[in-house]
Structure 1
Amino acid sequence: MHTLLLALIALAFVLIVVEDMIHLNKAKSTLFLGTLVWILAFVFPEHDVEQIKEGLNENLLEIATLWLFLMAAMTFVAYLNEKGLITQLVYRLLPSQIKLRTLMILVAMLGLLFSSLADNITASLIMLSLLSTLKLEPKQTLKFAALIVFSVNSGGVSLITGDVTTLMIFLADKVTITNLFLLIAPAVFGVLLLAVFLMGGINEEVTLPKFNRPIAFGDKLIALLFLLTITGTLFMSVAFSVPPVLTFLFGLSVMFLTHRVLYRSETKPNVLDYVREVEFDTLLFFLGVLLLVGMLKELSVLDFLPQLYEVMPVYVANYVVGILSALVDNVPLTAAILKSGIEMDAANWLGFTYAVGVGGSLLIIGSAAGVIALSKLSELSFVSYLRFFHWLLLAYTAGYVGVLAIAKLAT
């Protein structure tokens, strides 16, 4: 049964890869196989059923947290997109004529900044919404998508609310907030390096649309609520350890109430309608993938990780674990290392933080940002993203080396 479950999990990831060839929606295949492996684990248990139930409940709690956070963020973004607020804000800051190379740098820095201030899920939604309005050629869209995924993952490593794994490492007292600031420069360097790599063959200019329509006071207020929700999530998490999902859902509820007060006329659409605009394919795909990853954890596939640190230097093992996070969710990977009792100095813990935060960018299914991009961009597939693997690997390596160099000097 152990072998069968592993085979079904492998099949699920293969079906994601060949989605374009077999025309089977990845949300359907992953949800089917993700639920099937758990049902089989209960019907043909290899150990105590209560232990399996406990593992499933733990997995479902992680999924529910991510689902609810993603739903809340996507609802905000769906509203702001429909009103054109995000695109208006960005395009008003940009010139009407801009070279695509320059635009690449700006998009990369915006993605990194948004994910540092908010989180990589919200940043991904915002940046992908911006990308969809650019109406670029498919080849260029793919390059921008790869850059966005890498940049939002890179931006999330320097703040404890930017990435779940960063928060886990911080709460385990392996790094301090001051230490994490050392990751900013290497993260920026890696992102800029990737942008330079992807600029090859891009010379043309693009004309950006201009949005001059007035923005209603109510929409401005809801945009402000979105910003306050993000900053409130940061503050409440750091000051009072309030789970980010709770603060974000509270912000969403305030948005609903505010909209109702502002637009009492029945001719205005119900703001709850924007929840229906959330692309549930994305959420179902997440559900299936996380069920599969949870089963990998249940099958103790990750137990071999601490052995890497016995056969290779710590800094090499951390680098390899970062690459593995492109195949397996970085949260269980990080948990496995933290629970193993492995001893590292501050510099190597920072290297580990960067590796598990950014390494998932190497494959499109290796991070939340990648999964969101995969579900939202029709031009993007596992194979098309794989074309940039060598550039992504070089940028990841450069950033990792930069982290170790700076951390060794500063710690």
Structure 2
Amino acid sequence: MDIIIIGLIALAFVLIVLEDVIHLNKAKSTLFIGSLVWILAFIFPHSSIEHIKEGLNEQLLEISTLWLFLMAAMTFVAYLNQKGLITQIVYRLLPTELTLRKLMILMALLALLFSSLADNITASLIMLSLLSSLNLDKKTTLKFATLIVFAVNSGGVSLITGDVTTLMIFLADKVTITNLFLLVLPAVLGVVALSLCLMWGNNQAITLPKFKRPIAFADKLIAALFLMTIIGTLFMSVAFAVPPVLTFLFGLSVMFLVHRAIYKSESKPNVLEYVRDIEFDTLLFFLGVLLLVGMLKELSVLDLLPQLYQMMPIYMANYIVGILSALVDNVPLTAAILKSGIEMDTAQWLGLTYAVGVGGSILIIGSAAGVIALSKLEELSFITYLRFMHWLLVAYTVGYCAVLGIASIAM
């Protein structure tokens, strides 16, 4: 039965790849197989029912946390998008005339900045909304989307609030906050390398529209509240260990109250309409994928990972683990390595931190940023993203080698 379940999980990922061919929505196929494998695990248990139930409850807790966080962040972004606030602010900062190559570099730096200040999910939603407003052709849109996914994943690796795996390695006392700052330059180098690869020789000039419409006071207030929610999430998480989802839900509730106070004279000031603008395909796809990955963890497939470090040098094993994180969620991968007791020096732990944080960008299903992009952009699919895999590997390798070089010199 374990072999059958693993086969079904493999089938689920194949169906994601073939979505454009078979015209079966990936959210439907992953949810179907993701729930099926857990039902089979209960009917034909490989261990005690209590153990399986505990594993499912743990997975459902992770899924519900992610769902609620996504719902809160996407509601804020849906409101600001409909008001055109995000695009207005960014367009006012960008020059009117510039080349596609310059625009791509600026977008990459914005993605790095947003994912450093906020979380990957919020940064992805903001940057993808901005990308949609540019009205670029399909080929260029795919290149920009690829860069955004890579840049968003790169931006958070140097902060304990920016990526869960970075926090896990920090809490295990493998690196310090000062050590993690060494990852900033490699992250930037990797993103710049990808920008140059994707737009090499493209000096096509474009003209960006300038928005002259004044921004309403209420919209400014909601935008400020969104920014305060992000900052408050980071502060409360570091200072008091408050889960980010709790702070974001609180910020969302304040948004509802502020909106009601501003528009109290209107007959139907229903801000909850923006919750209905959320694309539930994204949430259902996340649900299915996390159920599949949770079953792999339940079957102890990831326990085989430490053997990789016995077969090759540590720096090479870390590099391979980063690539594997494009197939399997980086959190259980990192947990398996931390629990295995593998001995590494600080430079090698920094290499692993970068690898598991950025390596998921190599495949579109390998990170939260990629899954969100896959769900929100019609032009993007597993196959179309796969066309840039060689450039993503180059950029990932550049960043990883920079980590090893900088860390070895600094230590």
1:289-346 per-residue CA deviation (whole Å, 9 max, x = no partner) reads 0000000101111011111111111111111100000000001101111111111111
Query: Per-residue deviation at 1:200?
Result: 3.1
| Residue 3 (structure 2) pairs with residue 21 (structure 1) | no
Identical residues among aligned pairs (%): 80
Displacement, 1:266?
3.0
* Residue identity opposite 2:132 in structure 1: S
1:205-220 pair list within 5 angstroms: 205-220=205-220
SS across alignment from 1:157: coil
How far does the alpha carbon of each residue in 1:223-267 deviate from its partner, in whole angstroms, 9 at most, with x for none? 001001111111111111111111111111111111111110234
- Where does residue 272 of structure 1 map in the other structure? 272
Deviations 1:337-362 (A, max 9, x none): 11111111111111100000000000
- Pair 1:303 & 2:303 matched: yes
Q: Distance in 1 between matches of 2:384 and 2:321?
A: 24
Within a 5 Å distance, the mapping from 1:101-140 to structure 2 comes to 101-140=101-140
Q: How many residues align?
A: 411
The separation in 1 between residues aligned to 2:268 and 2:102, in whole angstroms, is 40
Q: CA deviation at 1:369?
A: 0.3
8 Å CA contact 2:65, 2:245 repeated in 1? yes
Range moving further from structure 2, 209-218 or 10-19: 209-218
RMSD of equivalent CA atoms = 0.9
Q: Distance in 2 between matches of 1:249 and 1:405?
A: 41
1:66-118 superposed Cα distances (whole Å, 9 cap, x missing partner): 11111111111000001111000000001222211100000000001100111
Which amino acid in the other structure matches residue 75 of structure 2?
Answer: T
Q: How far apart, in 1, do the equivalents of 2:51 and 2:349 lie?
A: 32
Deviation of the 1:202 alpha carbon: 2.7
TM-score by length of 2: 0.99
Task: Find runs of 4+ consecutive structure 1 residues off by over 6 angstroms.
Answer: none
Could you give the per-residue CA deviations for residues 164-211 of structure 1, whole angstroms, max 9, x where no partner exists?
111111111111111111000000000000000000363312221221
- 1: distance between equivalents of 2:225 and 2:309? 46
Aligned partners of 1:268, 1:113: CA distance in 2, in Å?
37
| Equivalent residue, structure 2, for 1:408 | 408
AA at the equivalent of 1:173: D
2:52 maps to what in 1? 52
Per the alignment, residue 83 of structure 1 pairs with 83
AA matched with 1:9: I
Q: CA deviation at 1:268?
A: 5.1
Contact 2:77 2:125 survives alignment (8 Å): yes
- Cα drift, residue 28 of structure 1: 0.5
2:204 is aligned to 204
Classify the secondary structure of the residue corresponding to 1:336. helix
Alpha-carbon distance in structure 2 between the residues aligned to 1:49 and 1:266: 54
CA distance in 2, matches of 1:389, 1:356: 17
- Map of 1:7-406 to 2, 5 A cutoff? 7-200=7-200, 202-267=202-267, 269-406=269-406
Distance 2:234 2:93 in 1: 26
Residue deviations 1:120-147 (CA, integer Å, cap 9, x gap): 1110000000000011110000000000
Is the 2:158–2:181 Cα contact (8 Å) retained in structure 1? yes
CA distance in 1, matches of 2:337, 2:162: 20
Contact 2:350 2:407 in 1 (8 A): yes
Q: TM-score, normalised by structure 1?
A: 0.99
Q: CA deviation at 1:119?
A: 0.9
Q: Deviations over 1:354-403 (max 9, x none)?
A: 00000000000000000000000111010110010110001001100101
Q: 2:319, 2:300 → 1: CA distance?
A: 21
Tell me the secondary structure at the aligned position of residue 42 of structure 2.
helix
* Secondary structure in 2 matching 1:158: coil
Distance in 2 of aligned mates of 1:65 and 1:166: 19
Contact 2:143 2:198 survives alignment (8 Å): yes
Q: Distance in 2 between matches of 1:99 and 1:220?
A: 30
C-alpha separation in 2, matches of 1:188 and 1:268: 47
Aligned partner letter, 2:138? P
Q: Which runs of 5+ in 1 are unaligned?
A: none
Matching residue's letter, 1:358: V
Q: Which SS does the other structure have where 1:200 is aligned?
A: coil
CA distance in 1, matches of 2:402, 2:382: 28
Structure-2 separation of matches of 1:95 and 1:402: 32
Partner-residue secondary structure (3-state), 1:365 = coil
